[in-house]
Chain A
Amino acid sequence: EAQVTQNPRYLITVTGKKLTVTCSQNMNHEYMSWYRQDPGLGLRQIYYSMNVEVTDKGDVPEGYKVSRKEKRNFPLILESPSPNQTSLYFCASSSTSGGALGTQYFGPGTRLLVL
């Protein structure tokens, strides 16, 4: 089954404790992206990657890191989480065949609470 998986789905942590949210897709997609969703603000792009070893900042990259060492994985790293990073996080992937940005397939989301 074609899918994007995220782990963990729920996480409660404390300020300053480094954490990683994993994202993996099995569709051989070139493009992957991370978003955060907050009430009234819609989804905001954190980082995206057009292919392996290529990453770019979205609109809200501060406090986050990413890496794209393999095509299927795109982990999101919070080196020192703060309460303002409490949010619902989505990973997504899509094909870019022919240079076109295709349909984004979203993971189920990770709900993060930073105390």
Chain B
Amino acid sequence: AQTVTQSQPEMSVQEAETVTLSCTYDTSESDYYLFWYKQPPSRQMILVIRQEAYKQQNATENRFSVNFQKAAKSFSLKISDSQLGDAAMYFCAYGNQGGKLIFGQGTELSVKP
């Protein structure tokens, strides 16, 4: 069975600094997708970034980028130039071709002014 682990329940970063959130997963499948979602206090789930496992190039979206290490089954999220609006719960998720989706436990990110 697939699993997703976020080992950092809470993280803190100074405004304008860079922070990296960790995520590891376990799977025997070769074709899958990885996601990072942001959940602000409003509870709305917002996609931050999506990575297809067959693509070696790391996905980026403005200040957000990932370090995808397929062999190590690691998928960390780097947030550059952190802003107060980045404060939220961040979830890492694994999805397969069949539609199964598994989320990690989440990392609560706080941003200090």
Contacts and interface: CB of A to CB of B under 8 A. Distances in A.
A95 to B, nearest CB: 12
B104 A42 contact: yes
Interface in B4-22: 6
A101 B44 contact: no
Secondary structure call for the A interface: strand
Interface in A56-84: 56, 58-59
A35 B95 CA distance: 14
Contact of A50 (B50, B99, B101, B105): B99
Interface string A24-50: 000000010101000011111100111
Given A42-B105, A101-B96, 15 more contacts: A33-B101, A41-B105, A42-B103, A45-B101, A56-B98, A56-B100, A59-B102, A88-B43, A90-B45, A100-B33, A100-B97, A101-B95, A101-B101, A106-B44, A108-B43
Interface centre among A43, A50, A58, A108 (most CB of B within 10 A): A43
A31 B100 CA distance: 11
B35 interface: yes
Contacts of B43: 88, 108-109
B100 A103 contact: no
